[in-house]
Structure 1
Amino acid sequence: MSRLLREPGGPADLSEVELGRRAYRRGRQQRSVLVAALSTVAFAVVMWITLANTPGWPRVQETFFSWEHAVRAFPAVAEGFLLNLRVLAIASVLVLIVGLAIALLRTLRGPVFFPIRFLAAAYTDVFRGVPLILVLYLVGFGIPGLRITDDFIPGEVLGTAALVLTYSAYVSEVFRAGIEAVHPSQRLAARAMGLSHAKTLRLVVIPQAVRKVTPALMNDFVALQKDVGLISVLGAVDAVRSAQIATAASFNFTPYVVAGVLFVLLAIPTVRLTDWYTARVRRREQMGAVV
């Protein structure tokens, strides 16, 4: 505590005006949290009463929110969800690698690299323009049709390839924006110190670029978390396909709700982490604005 008081910007260095402002903000924040909690509870109660009093609610509750069918379908859906997690882990790493490589190719200077820049730009334009579901169909049925290998290619492998192709295009543009946001003086200073072009990128430019675009990358990761469920269209028995099988057997849609809940539970920690990191970056950028 004594160390904090001695450090610049600590409570001992703040004026009475700034201390009063901080106390006022804390009070406002506490009141805002209380009002938000009360309004949320009131809204939830009103929505529940309105929904429960609709004529078709009993039928909808039986068809979509049956506890019996949820318990029965959960083991199969959870097992399929593990496949989604494996695909997500592999695809995330590959998307970062491929996306960064494409971004670096698009930032190459000199006319001799024009064909490479053109191909990289064409890649991003095509795969950002084609819907993911079409990429899944083209990759999932087109690659086996080429008969490159006689071995059977699992649907999850083809689905992972389609996800990497699509999301790498988006992530490459995020990386490129971060690289171009680094001030040119950083490059010039690094080259003046004798660093090569490769070392300048690795030690100076890329670390700064990654810090700038981390919130955007985390948002893309959240989107990827839910899109891994689309690999079911290629026959992969993931959470969505398991829910579809259970629904076809029981004529009840509760397994889809179970799969949806699992995907939401997966996304919530990442969303909250993204919000926390974004707020942290904003506070760091506003540091020093004390009176």
Structure 2
Amino acid sequence: MLVAIASTLAFAGIVWVTVLGTPGWAQVQQRFFDPATFAASLPRVWDGFLLNLQVLALSVVTVSVVALLIALLRTLRGPVFFPLRALAAGYTDIFRGIPLIIVLYLIGLGVPALLDQRISVVLLGTVAITLTYSAYVSEVIRAGIEAVHPSQRLAARALGLGYAQTLRRVVLPQALRKMTPPLMNDFVSMQKDVGLISILGAVDAVRAAQIETSLTYNFTPYVVAAVLFVLLAIPTIRLADWYTARLREREQMGSIV
């Protein structure tokens, strides 16, 4: 405990000398951490943040469904399913290679022009995020499915279970324990990336912060948006850490280290 206290004090001293004690800190504090600007911009940034939460809630559902479908297509056995496996593999290769911001431009600007009508930014943002993150999440799900030993499938089929029953009752429950930590990490990453929908003209937290900054010539609204995103991510991060530690303890139970 004494060592921890001493190291914490030493770290605080280093921060004070290298950051707070620098000549330009007063100007940085005024431009980025002004309490009055923080309080004034919080309501508008919060209203935009609610739009981010709406896109995030829709994306969680759509990404889960699409990613599971793609992962199942990639795990199909037999040469007859080769076209489906090739399409699923091509999908993951393409959308893992294209940056999300480009997908947002292609969907947000291309689809309305193609259909020649206005489309909700929430819908466009959800589609773009779904296309990108389904590629990543599907690989996590596929890895979790393939991590289940083949003997589990064989035992289930020997008991008379069909392919769908084997997946639902035997494979997926075991795979879920293995893939939950990386899925939570992808969820945290998606929480941040929903802020990119501002490039489509949506007045979300990032765009609201930009508007407030243009009015006050102060960058504190960006800090407000950053604080909101961090507060959103912390519970998921802590939950992921707790579940990972719990899973590690369960797997190492009774072992000699």
* TM bucket normalised to smaller: over 0.9
Aligned to 1:212: 178
For 2:209 and 2:92, the matched residues in 1 are separated by 34
Which is worse superposed, 191-200 or 45-54? 45-54
1:239 correspondence with 2:205: yes
Q: Determine the structure 1 residue equivalent to 2:222.
A: 256
Q: Map 1:94-113; keep pairs closer than 5 Å.
A: 94-113=62-81
Q: Pick from 141, 154, 171 the counterpart of residue 137 of structure 2.
A: 171
Partner of 1:57: 25
2:57 corresponds to which of 85, 89, 108? 89
Distance of 1:104 and 1:185 partners within structure 2: 18
Return closer, same or farther for 1:156/1:174 CA change in 2, 3 Å cut-off.
same
For these two proteins, the number of residue pairs brought into alignment is 257
1:199 and 2:165 equivalent? yes
Query: Counterpart of 1:124?
Result: 92
Q: Could you tell me which residue of structure 2 aligns to residue 184 of structure 1?
A: 150
Query: C-alpha deviations, 1:80-113, integer Å up to 9, x for none?
Result: 1111111111111111111111000001111111
For residues 223 and 90 of structure 1, the distance between their equivalents in structure 2, rounded to whole angstroms, comes to: 15
After TM superposition, the runs of 4+ consecutive aligned structure 1 residues lying more than 6 A away are none
Structure of higher CA gyration radius: 1
Question: What does residue range 37-52 of structure 1 map to in structure 2 within 5 Å?
Answer: 37-52=5-20
Q: Partner residue of 2:128? A: 162
CA distance in 2, matches of 1:137, 1:35: 52
**Equivalent of 1:227 in 193, 199, 224:** 193
Partner AA of 2:15 in structure 1: M
1:190 Cα offset (Å): 0.7
CA distance in 2, matches of 1:50, 1:183: 53
Question: What whole-Å deviation, never above 9, does each CA across 1:211-269 have from its counterpart, x for those lacking one?
Answer: 11100100101111111111111111111010001001111100000100111111111
- Kept in 2, the 8 Å contact 1:94–1:164? The answer is yes
Q: Is the 8 A contact 1:154 1:236 kept in 2?
A: no
| Aligned-partner residue type, residue 90 of structure 1 | L
How far has the Cα of 1:51 moved from its partner?
Answer: 1.7
Alignment of 1:75-86 (within 5 A): 75-86=43-54
Q: CA deviation at 1:53?
A: 2.3
8 Å Cα contact 1:106/1:176 also seen in 2:
yes
Report the Cα distance in structure 2 between the residues aligned to 1:37 and 1:187, rounded to whole angstroms: 53
Note the alpha carbon deviations across 1:126-168, whole angstroms, 9 max, x for none.
0001111111111111111111x63x21222211111111000
Tell me what 2:242 maps to.
276
CA distance in 1, matches of 2:93, 2:4: 42
TM-score by length of 1: 0.85
Q: Any idea what the Cα deviations from partners look like across 1:160-202, whole Å, max 9, x if unmatched?
A: 1111110000000000001101111111111111111111111
CA distance in 2, matches of 1:223, 1:260: 14
Counterpart position of 1:265: 231
What is the root-mean-square deviation of aligned Cα atoms in Å?
Answer: 1.4
The answer to whether 1:115 aligns with 2:69 is no
Identity of aligned pairs, percent?
68
Q: Is 2:91 the counterpart of 1:135? A: no
TM-score by length of 2: 0.96
